[in-house]
Amino acid sequence: MQRTEISELGEFGLIRHLTKDLKTVQPSTVKAVGDDAAVIDAGGDSVLVTTDLLLEGIHFNLEYVPLRYLGYKAAVVNISDICAMNATPTQLTVALGISKRFSVEDIEQLYAGLRAACEKYNVDLVGGDTCASMTGLTISITCIGQAKEEDIVYRNGAKENDLICVTGNLGSAYLGLQLLERERVALNGNDNVQPDFKGKEYLLQRQLYPQARKDIIDLLREKGIHPTAMMDISDGLSSELMHICSQSGVGCAIYEDKIPIDYEAAVVAEQMDLNIVTCALNGGEDYELLFTCSLNDYDKLLALDDVYFVGHITKKEQGMLLIGRNGEQLHLKAQGWQAF
């Protein structure tokens, strides 16, 4: 039998390959594979469902992530997926695989983090499952949300000339991870030395304690702004732009000097000899929102705090362009996440 390595296809390639000819038969299935969440119509408001799997050693390293933070982040990244559909997160289920290494107190810490996130975002924890694991900690979270059908924003609605917006700033979470990783290697198991993160707390917070931008979703609704396409930035701006462009059948141009970057991130990138723009484009885990809007919404958007214009949607033929500070044009590449 033939053996094709998964690395030949990559994460996105494998998902495409496995799901390419899926058909749906249920009349309640509004949106299946291919967006931040699935959309189901049961006769009232639409119900949205998204699932994530977090594995020790792949998605998190307990050497530097306290379990409480891990629980919080695991919930938030799923809540963020529901927000990214312009919907309201409402319920969450959690299934845990736990090895003997962990005590009841450890799992209490993890749950405390999950519950803190649920309280912050008004989400009910409605399902708990735990089982033994041979090898460390496995966390599977499903988040459920609701929205009126007409309010839902998919990835495929971006139109030529639409504005491209991002919230917050990009690259900080990635640099926070680099800091943690550098200290881990430097300390090398020496528990008596405390790492010195002074002045870099913000970057660590961005990595360990991310927030879902429900505030922005609420704000957009309040101001009567309906994005044409939206998703959250978990894999990096380049990768997410690629999803929106390919699903919407458009191209884009974004401007290097418009990408919002925190000054602390810029300083640390410099110290670590990393290109801050590359960090912002490909770093991931910022959980900010990327969305496109009609030019008609320009004035309303201008008035919003923490929303930044980074470029505009173009014809498909123009591809995905990054315009540098001196006007030079580069083709954006979606690195995505190639862990295989």
Q: Enumerate residues 128-167 that contact a second copy by CB under 8 A.
A: 128-136, 138, 140, 142, 144, 146
Q: How many CA atoms lie within 13 A of 59 on its CB side?
A: 17
Structure tokens at 188: 């090398």
The residue (of 33 and 330) whose beta carbon lies closer to a second copy is 33
79 binds a second copy (CB under 8 A): no
Residues 17-36 that bind a second copy (CB under 8 A): 17-19, 22, 24-26, 28-29, 31-33
Of 84, 66, 19, the C-alpha closest to 209 is 66
108 binds a second copy (CB under 8 A): yes
Structure tokens at 121: 């975002």
Structure tokens at 79: 């809540």
Nearest distance in Å: CB 6, a second copy: 6
42 binds a second copy (CB under 8 A): yes
Which DSSP symbol is given to 149?
G
The residue (of 53 and 295) whose beta carbon lies closer to a second copy is 53
Phi and psi (nearest 5°) for 227? -60, 155
Tell me the C-alpha distance between 340 and 114, whole Å: 28
Find the farthest-apart pair of alpha carbons in the chain and give their distance in angstroms, rounded. 60
The residue (of 45 and 181) whose beta carbon lies closer to a second copy is 45
Tell me the C-alpha distance between 244 and 65, whole Å: 32
- Binding test (CB under 8 A) with a second copy, winner from 46, 80, 207, 248: 46
61 Cβ partners below 8 Å, 6+ apart?
Answer: 184
Packing angle of the helix pair 104-120, 67-83 (nearest 10 deg): 30
The residue (of 67 and 265) whose beta carbon lies closer to a second copy is 67
Q: How do beta strands 88-98 and 124-132 pair?
A: parallel
Residues 85-104 that bind a second copy (CB under 8 A): 90-91, 93-98, 100, 102-104
The residue (of 126 and 295) whose beta carbon lies closer to a second copy is 126
Nearest distance in Å: CB 59, a second copy: 7
234 binds a second copy (CB under 8 A): no
Nearest distance in Å: CB 275, a second copy: 25
215 binds a second copy (CB under 8 A): no
- Asked whether the beta carbons of 165 and 142 are under 8 A apart, the reply is no
Tell me the C-alpha distance between 41 and 149, whole Å: 8
- Binding test (CB under 8 A) with a second copy, winner from 9, 261, 304, 321: 9
Residues 297-336 that bind a second copy (CB under 8 A): none
Phi and psi (nearest 5°) for 238? -60, -50
199 binds a second copy (CB under 8 A): no
127 binds a second copy (CB under 8 A): yes
- Here's the x/- map for a second copy, 58-77, by CB under 8 A: it reads as xx------------------
Total site size for a second copy, rule CB under 8 A: 83
